[in-house]
Structure 1
Amino acid sequence: MEAFVYNSNPARVMFGSGSSKQLPDELKRINKSKPLLLSTPQQISQAEDVGKILNGQFAGLFSDATMHTPTDVTERACAYANSTGADSVVSIGGGSTIGLGKAISTRTGLYHITLPTTYAGSEVTPILGETAEGRKETRSDTSILPGTVIYDVDLTLTLPVSLTATSGVNAIAHAVEALYAQNGNPIINLLAQEGVRALAASLAQLIKDPHSKEARTSAQYGAWLCGTCLGNVGMSLHHKLCHTLGGSFNLPHAETHTIVLPHALAYNAPKIPDALKKLADVLPDSNGDAVHGLNVLLGKLNVKRGLKELGMKEEDIDKAADIAVSKPYWNPRKVERDAVRELIRRAWAGEDAKADL
C-alpha cells in the first residue's frame, strides 16, 4: 500500500428518524438560545415547522437563500442576523440554504446547525462556493464547516422525485471524483464506494416508490458518506466545470452536476483505470464499465440529460470552455481546451457519454 495522508473534519452528526426534535437540546448543549432560521422561499413551511419544535424561541427567519450563494444575499442575511441578535444559525434545506448558513457562519463566527432536506452532501464539507458578478469562486476553510448536522429522514419524505434524483447524483459526483483525487486515500475510497452503492440502489427504488422511508434513509446515509469524501479530498474537472456552468450561466446546481458527471468521467477515463474499476463494482448494470453504468443509472432516473434543457444556449459553449480552462487546477488528465469544449457540447446536446475524447 502506498503512503497517504488522511485528514478527518470535525463534525457532530445526529442521524435518525425524528432527530430534528432534538434541536432544542442541541442548542442547550452549545449554550445557544436565539438561532436565526434559514430557508429558501420554497421551504418556508419546513423552517416554520422547525420553529414550532423550538416553541417559537428563535431570533427570526431569513427565507431568501438562493442558488449559488450570491454574496449580496449573504450580506443582507448577515445584517438581519445582527439586527435580531442571533447567537447561531440553523439552516433547513438543501445546498442553497446550507451554503448561506456557511457563508454567514464564516463571516460572523455564529455556530451553524444544519438540517439537510436533500442529498447535496455540502453539510459535511468545509467548502463554500459563492457567486459575485457572474463568477462562482470556491474556497475551503475549517470555519465554513457546520458544527452540527441533524439527519432526519422525515424531512426528506416530501422531496419531489425529480429533485431526489438529481440531488442524489450530485452527491454521487463527490464520491466519483474522490476515487481519483490527487490526495485520495484508502479510507476515502471505502467511503466513496459505499456512498455510491447506497445512493445508486436507493435512488432507483425511490423513482418507483418515493415514499419509501427505508430507501430515503439509505439515500441520506449515502449522501453523508459522499459529502464526507468531498470535504476531505480535492476535486477536479467535474466540479470545476459545474461551478463554471452554474455560476456563469445560472444553471441549476444539482441538475448540472447530473448532466456533466458521466462526460467528465469519460474525459478522465484513460488516466484512471483503478477508479473506474472501483466505481463499476458498485454501480448496478455497469457490466464492468463505469461510464456505461452511469449512463444506465441516469436513464433509470428519468433525469434531463442535456444542458440545453436547463436553458444553456449553444453559443455559450465556447465561453464556458474558455472559463473552464482559464485557471490551472489538478486533473488526472491534462485539461485541453478543444477536448473540454467537446465535452461541454456533448453535455449540452444530451448525448450519452463516451470515453473517446
Structure 2
Amino acid sequence: MRFEHETLPQRVHFAAGEARAAIRSEVARLAGSRVMVIAAPAEADLAKSVAADVPVVVHHDDVVMHVPVETAQRARRAADDHGVDVLLCVGGGSTTGLAKAVALTTGLPIVAVPTTYAGSEATGVWGLTQDGAKTTGVDPRVLPRAIIYDAALTLSLPVPLSVASGLNALAHCVDSMWAPHTDPLDQALALEGIRALAAGLPDVVADPAGLAGRERLLYGAYLSALAFSSAGSGLHHKICHVLGGRYDVPHAQTHAVVLPYVLAFNSPAVPDVEHRIADAFAADSALDGLQRLRRAVDAPTALRDHGLPEYAVEDAVPAILEAAPADNPRPVTGAAVRRLLRAAWEGSDPAVTGK
C-alpha cells in the first residue's frame, strides 16, 4: 500500500438547532465585522434568522444554478462595494458555488451553512459557466473555513429534492471509488458515505419531519465530499458537468439519473471495487443495491423528464469524450457514451450500458 493523501483544513459544526450560535462563533473567530450573506430568495428568511447575531452589511440573493460568470461578477462587485470581510452562504450547491466564486478572486473567508446534501461546502472545487461550458478547478481559497451542519435547516427541503440531492451525494461516493486520484482513505470515506446515505434516504421519505434521517444524509454528504475532494472527478461528474453547462439541466436531478448508468458501465471492469460497493449497499451487486434504493425512494429516472433535449444524446458526445478521465476503468468511446446517454435520456434499464 502506497499513496499520498491531503487532508483539508476546515472546522465542522454538526448539531441540530445550533446554526445561529455556531455562525456567531465562527464569524467572531474570523474577526468578521462586515458580513455578506449569500442566499437564494427561497432561503432569504432563513438566512436572516440564522445570521441575526452577526454584523451583516449586505444580503445578496442573486443566485443562479451552475454559477454563470456574469452572476459571479455581480456578487464580487457587491462584496467590494460593501467592504465585506466574511462571506456567509446559506443554501444549496449553487449558493455555496457563488460564495466560492467570490472567494476565488477576493480571498475572503467563507462560512458555509448547507441546506441540501450537495457537499460543495467540504471541497476546494469551484465551478463557473460561460457560453454553455462549465469550467471547474481546485483552489484552496474557495474552501470554506467552517461548515455548519444543522439538520433542522433541511426540514423544509421537499422530499423529491431531498432524494435527488442525496443521490447527488451518493454519486460523489461512487465516483470516488475509481476517480483519477483515489486512494484507500478516499474509498473508506466513500463506502461509509454510501452506508449513511442508503440508510438516510428511506428514513427521510418515510418521515420527512424527522431529524434522524436528515442527519444521516448530512453526515453522508460530508463524507462523500471529503472523498470526492481528494479523489477528483470521475466519468460520472464529467458527464454531468457537460450536461449542466451546455443544457442548463438541474444539477441534483441530473446526477441522480446518470448515476446508475455510469455505475453499470464501469463496475464490470473493477470487480473488487464493485464488490465493496455492493457490500456497502448490503446487496448482491452494486447496481442491484443502488436500484433497490432508487425504487424505495422514487428516484428520478429519465433525463428527458428534467429538460434535457433529445438532440443532446448526440450533441454532448464530443465534449464528454474530451472531458472523460484517461484512466477510467473502461475505455470511453463515442459509441459507449451515446448508448449511456440514450438510456439515461429514456430512463431505460441501466444494465444495457454495462454490456
Question: What interval of TM-score do these two structures reach, taking the shorter chain for normalisation?
Answer: over 0.9
1:61 Cα deviation after fit: 0.6
* Matches of 1:260 and 1:103, distance apart in 2: 26
Is contact 1:175–1:195 with CA below 8 Å preserved after alignment?
yes
Q: Under a length normalisation based on structure 1, what TM-score does the superposition of the two structures give?
A: 0.96
Cα shift readout 1:53-109 (whole Å, capped 9, x = no counterpart): 43xx20111101111011100100110111111111000001000000111011111
* Matches of 1:69 and 1:100, distance apart in 2: 6
The aligned amino acid for 2:302 is: G
Equivalent residues in 2 for 1:94-133 (5 A)? 94-133=92-131
Match of 1:262 among 253, 260, 279: 260
Cα shift readout 1:189-216 (whole Å, capped 9, x = no counterpart): 1111111101111101111111111111
SS at match of 1:59: strand
| Match in the other structure for 1:243 | 241
The aligned amino acid for 2:233 is: M
* Matches of 2:290 and 2:142, distance apart in 1: 31
* Matches of 2:190 and 2:37, distance apart in 1: 31
| Match in the other structure for 1:234 | 232
Cα shift readout 1:113-156 (whole Å, capped 9, x = no counterpart): 00000111111001111100111011111112111111111111
Equivalent residues in 2 for 1:321-336 (5 A)? 321-327=317-323, 329-330=325-326, 331-336=328-333
**Percent of matched pairs sharing the same residue:** 38
Match of 1:295 among 291, 294, 302: 291
* Matches of 1:40 and 1:241, distance apart in 2: 26
- What is the aligned residue count? 352
* Matches of 1:154 and 1:328, distance apart in 2: 38
* Matches of 2:64 and 2:303, distance apart in 1: 20
* 2:7 aligned with 1:8: yes
* Matches of 2:150 and 2:280, distance apart in 1: 26
The aligned amino acid for 1:6 is: H
The aligned amino acid for 1:44 is: A
Equivalent residues in 2 for 1:132-281 (5 A)? 132-281=130-279
Is contact 2:235–2:324 with CA below 8 Å preserved after alignment?
no
Is contact 2:23–2:51 with CA below 8 Å preserved after alignment?
no
Match of 1:70 among 68, 73, 92: 68
1:184 Cα deviation after fit: 1.8
The aligned amino acid for 1:340 is: V
SS at match of 1:143: helix
The aligned amino acid for 1:28 is: A
* Matches of 1:303 and 1:29, distance apart in 2: 41
* 2:333 aligned with 1:314: no
Distance 1:328 1:165, change over 3 A: closer
* Matches of 1:132 and 1:126, distance apart in 2: 20
| Match in the other structure for 2:27 | 27
The aligned amino acid for 2:125 is: I
C-alpha RMSD over aligned residues: 1.3
* Matches of 2:31 and 2:111, distance apart in 1: 13
Structure 1 segments (4+ residues) deviating >2 Å: 50-54, 326-330
Q: Under a length normalisation based on structure 2, what TM-score does the superposition of the two structures give?
A: 0.96
SS at match of 2:213: helix
* 2:314 aligned with 1:344: no
Is contact 2:197–2:217 with CA below 8 Å preserved after alignment?
yes
The aligned amino acid for 2:330 is: R
1:328 Cα deviation after fit: 5.3
1:301 Cα deviation after fit: 1.3
Cα shift readout 1:159-216 (whole Å, capped 9, x = no counterpart): 1101110101100111111112232222221111111101111101111111111111
SS at match of 1:222: helix
Is contact 1:295–1:353 with CA below 8 Å preserved after alignment?
no
* Matches of 1:232 and 1:356, distance apart in 2: 27
SS at match of 1:77: helix
The aligned amino acid for 1:39 is: A
* Matches of 1:333 and 1:145, distance apart in 2: 32
SS at match of 1:139: strand
Is contact 2:176–2:234 with CA below 8 Å preserved after alignment?
no
Distance 1:323 1:232, change over 3 A: same
* Matches of 2:107 and 2:205, distance apart in 1: 40
